[in-house]
Every structure is written in structure tokens, then in C-alpha cells.
Amino acid sequence: MRPEEPGGEIRKRAEDIARQQVESGDTPQEQLIYELKVHQIELEMQNAELQNSQQELQRSRRQYELLFDFAPVAYFAFNSEGGIVEANHAAATLLKTERKYLDRKPFVVFLSKEYHTAFFNHLRRVFELGHRQSVEIQINTRQGGQLWARLESRHQRGVKGEPQCFTAILDITDRKQIEDDLILAREDAVSANRAKSVFLANISHELRTPMSGILAMSELAQQQQTGPEVRRYLSTIHSAAKSLMTILDDVRDVTRIESDQLAIDKRPFRVGELVTTLQAMFQPNAAQKSLDLVVRVPDNATEVLVGDRNRIRQVLVNLLGNALTFTESGTVTLTIREEEVSDFLREITFEVADTGPGIEPAEQRRIFESFNRSLEDAEARYGGKGLGLAISRRLAKLMGGQLYFETDPGRGSRFFFSVPLELPGDEEDFDAAAVLPTTSGSGDAGRILVAEDNAINLLVIRTVLEKAGYAVVSVGNGRDAIARMEQERFDLVLMDISMPGMDGITATETIRARRDDPSIQADIPIVAISAHSMKGDRERFLEAGMNDYISKPFVRDTVLSVVRAHIGAGS
């Protein structure tokens, strides 16, 4: 055997020792004695090395057993049937039992029936796939307790070479409890937010009803011949009511956005007309503070685009209002830019820049949060409810756009509102708003039945209609409306949704169901009137058989526009 071959080193050492004990001669007998001696020494050395290896293996085995037995982690070895081949002290402690009880015990005795399948599937994957597998199951201890455990398993060979599943089991009961607590906390938060949204929607609805009366009656009173002091009082009342209505609108919008009930309307509108209206609206405020209000519209701007004009206007009103409020001197500028995205799509960017105090770094991170007021030291001077910018950003996102800002504290701010708008198709007709004349009459314009249980709202709508020349008959609920229709003929019915006895939807469905009854005008136009303005409300009213919808608070021109759309402008 050569030294470089396996065992060659032992052969060389054996030859060195043999030469010291026996001289190698030239005769065949002397050479044979020498070879026998070398072989003897080689066998002794191999035997000694084998004994050392066995001892080292035993020491390693004892060390492994000590590590296995006293490891802080529960270790199991399973056979292919799920029987426990081996388990350490931590495993016995985990199951609240003794190690001798676990020997050859089927592990499923510690599992509820609903976890048997999960355990055996886990075991099968370990033996079939051969690589590491994990599963989370619930374990029952021998003393009747329960714990959540994570099984981390891999394939190995036993002492006799038999296949085994070596598994470490970790107690994850505390983690599971935290997860369950988080799930419950999330459900509670969602439930609380839902309850908040319902409360805000209800309270907004209830407050809008009396506010409708205050706004309308103060507006009507301002049209009467009164002294300057009374006109000043009425103007103050009307202004305060409008401010309160703005707050109610903001609260309603927050509720609708959070509950995903805010619908985005897409209709053709004139961008130039919108900008002109905004300029006319804010020019008096700018002049009062000696500010320059500048509007820049490109000469080649697209005239008509398709989008939600009212929501775009709402965002711009908020941005311009803030700019004028916080700017003491200088200029507020509204700049419009247009970029072609495709043949049918344009991205319109509205930039509102001011020369105001800018926004401090600490406030910049919170500027779009609900109920946050930027420039806290200016609250006493400017007020504010902290909802406008938060709603504006959400509206921008709902329209597929974005709202962001740049600011230089002490030198001003620039807000950018970009929104994608479509070009109108051939089938879309642009319907400009008609200007309604102020008329009065004695009923020649038409006869209208108003079903409304609120006295203030009834007075408002009756006054608006009678001044426009309509004869008005009023009832307090749906049942009385049906009875009155059986006695008289009308040109239109204005039907409140929420009324005692019989609500407006039930009354409308009852009327429409009597199409074959000649004693009632089953096909008469019926217009819903309600403070409900959540997503889906209009569709719900139309589905019940109503022809149109007027929301509270009543705006005179809106009421007359809807009425005339169904029965004409009268004489």
C-alpha cells in the first residue's frame, strides 16, 4: 500500500516501527518475517484507531443526547405513522406529562379531532418532500390545558437508518392571543367608526332640516322692504346659517367618503365658466383685503370637458378661500394648465399660489389631516374647522387626481390640484344651466301637491312656489297625499321621504301600483324631497317610481328648475 492511498500513512508508520524491531535482510525468510511484523503493527494501529473512533462516536452520542434531553425547546422524533419515537424533557414539560408516558404514543392523542388532518398532512409532506415544513395547530396537554404550537419539522434518519420526522414544537399561545386581541381591536375600531359615520350622517340629516328653513326664510325676508338695521340683522343671520351649513356639508362629505358612499358624477361642463364664477365669487373678498386676485387660463384651453364640476369647484373654493384668508398682502393667483394624456383625455392642473405666511415644517406633516388647523397661532384670527383640505385631498383621489403643495415659510404657498378629465363624446350634449326668471302669480302656472310634515320646510317650499305662480296644496304624510289625489287633479307631487304614518317611498309605490285605477293620477310626475344625500339614495328614489329628486336645504332656483322641467314654466 502506497502512502498516498487510504491507510498509507498507517503503513508508513508501521514500517518505521518494524525496522526498529526487526532487521530486514535479503533472504526470503528475513523479508517474510519483516512483512509479518509490519502487518501485525499495522493491524494493531488500525484497531487502536478504530477504538478511538468508537469512543469519539460514543462521546458525541452522549453529548447529542445531553443536548437533546436538556434543550429548552421541545423536540420530538416521529415515525411515518405519527408515533412518538423520542421526546426530550422540554417536550414532556410542554405536554404536562412524563417522558416515559410519551414512548411510542400516537401524537394525535394530544390533538383535537379538527387538527388531525393538519398534523398528518404535515407529516406526509415531511416524508415525501424531504425538506423543512411548518404548521400551526392547537395542542391539548395531558392535564386538560390547551396551547397553540408551531411545528417546525425536517426529515432525518434514526440510529438504525430508519426514516424519521424530527420536529421542534414552539409554544405560540401568547402570540396567538396578541393576534386575537388585535383582530378584536380592529373589529371594535371598525364598528366604532361605522357607528360614528352613522351618527354623523343622522345628525347632519337632522340639522339640515331646520337649517333649510333658516336659510330659505332669511333669504325671503331679505327680499322684503325693511329698514337698514333689519336688513343688517337678516344678512348676519343668513351668513351665519350659510357658515353652519358649510360645516354640515363638510361633516356629511367626511361621512360619505369614509363609508365609500360618495359618488363622482361625470358630465360635460365649461372650464372657463367655472373659473369665471370662482373669480366673481372671491373678487369682493380680495378687494376688501386689498389683494390682487389673478386668474390665468391658457388661450388654447379645451372649452368643454367631462368631469364632476361640483366636486372640482368644491376643491377650488377651499383652496382659494384658504389662500385669501391667510394672505394679508400681495397676490392670490389661480393658474390653469392643460396636458394631453391621450386623444380623449386631458390632465388639468389648477395651481393656487399666494403670498401669505406659508406653512411651518411642523404643520406640513399634518396639513391634510381631518380636524387639523394649520398655523395654530392664527386660529384666533382666522378660525376654521380643519376639514377642508382633508376632504379636498380625498375628493381629488376619488376623481383620479391628486392634491399636493409647496411652501416657503414666510413667503407663501402653492397648492396643486390635478385631475384627469375626458373630452365629450358625440353622444354627450352640453346642457347649459338656464337662468330662471322671478315670477309671481295666482296659480295659473300649475297645481302642485306638497307632502311634507315639517312646518318650516312646508312654509319655505310653499312660499317659493306661490311666488313663482303655482297653486300649492299641502298634506302631512303619504296616506293623506293619496287621499287628496283621489279627490283633486294636480300637475306635480313633491313628496318628502321621511314622514309619519306612510313615508314618501311607500306612498309613491302605492300610487304607481294603481295605474289601472281611473280615480287617481298614477302616472303623475313625483319628485322626492329629502335631506338624504348619500350614495344610492337618488337611485333608490327613482327605483321606487319617483321622477326626480330635490335635496334639502331648498335652494329657490333648484326647486323652480326641477318643477319647471316637469310641468313647464307657466305663464
Q: SS in 3 state form for 317-342?
A: HHHHHHHHHHCCCCEEEEEEEEEEEE
- Could you report the per-residue pLDDT of 457-470, keeping only the tens digit for each? 787 788 888 888 89
Length of the chain: 571
More confident residue, 388 or 162: 162
Determine the Cα angle at 407 with ends 291 and 325, to 5°. 35
Residue 471 has pLDDT above 80, yes or no: yes
What's the average model confidence in pLDDT over 537-559?
A: 82
Please provide the CATH number assigned to the domain covering 177-258: 1.10.287.130
| DSSP assignment of 525-560 | -EEEEES--STTHHHHHHHTT--EEEESSP-HHHHH
The string of pLDDT tens digits covering residues 123-148 is 999 999 888 899 999 999 988 889 99
CATH number for 72-171 (one of 3.30.460.90, 3.90.650.10, 3.30.365.10, 3.30.450.20): it is 3.30.450.20
Distance CA 374, CA 384 (A): 9
Q: CB-based contacts of 154: which residues, under 8 Å, 6+ apart?
A: 126, 131, 132, 133, 165, 166
Kindly state the helix (H) or strand (E) to which residue 42 belongs, with its residue range: helix 28-70
- How does residue 3 score in pLDDT terms, banded at 50, 70 and 90? very low
When the pLDDT of each residue in the chain is averaged and rounded to a whole number, the result is 80
Range scoring the smallest mean pLDDT among 134-143, 210-219, 373-382, 420-429 = 373-382
Virtual torsion, Cα 211, 217, 223, 226, nearest 10 deg: -110
User: Which contacts qualify for 173-177: CB closer than 8 Å, 24 or more apart?
Assistant: 173/147, 173/148, 175/148, 176/148
Q: How far apart are CA 403 and CA 96, in angstroms?
A: 61
Instruction: Work out the pLDDT band at 261, boundaries 50, 70, 90.
Output: low
Cβ-in-10-Å burial (0-12, 13-18, 19+) of 433 comes to exposed
Amino acid letter, 151 = L
Measured CA to CA, the distance from residue 545 to residue 340 in angstroms comes to: 42
C-alpha R_g of the chain: 44
CATH number of the structural domain 446-567? 3.40.50.2300
Please give the grid coordinates belonging to residue 468.
313663482
Mean pLDDT value across residues 229-240:
77
For 355-445, where are the E strands, in sequence order? 402-408, 412-422
Q: What CATH number was assigned to the domain covering residues 267-422?
A: 3.30.565.10
Task: Note the pLDDT tens digit of each residue in 184-233.
Answer: 888 888 777 777 766 766 676 667 667 777 777 777 777 777 788 887 78
Place of cell 298634506: 475
- Tell me the average pLDDT across 34-52: 78
Mention every residue, 6+ apart, whose C-beta is less than 8 A from residue 117: none
Interatomic CA distance for residues 64 and 468, integer angstroms: 100
DSSP reduced 3-state for 336? strand
Handedness of CA 224, 226, 231, 233 (dihedral sign): negative
- In the chain, the N- to C-terminal Cα span, in Å, equals 128
Give the pLDDT confidence of 511-534 residue by residue, as tens digits: 999 998 889 999 999 999 876 655
Segment among 8-17, 117-126, 144-153, 330-339 with least mean pLDDT: 8-17
For residue 327, the SS3 value is coil
C-alpha cell at 251: 361633516
Do residues 405 and 413 lie in contact, with contact meaning Cβ atoms separated by under 8 Å? yes
Does residue 228 have a cis peptide bond before it, meaning omega lies within 30 degrees of 0? Answer: no
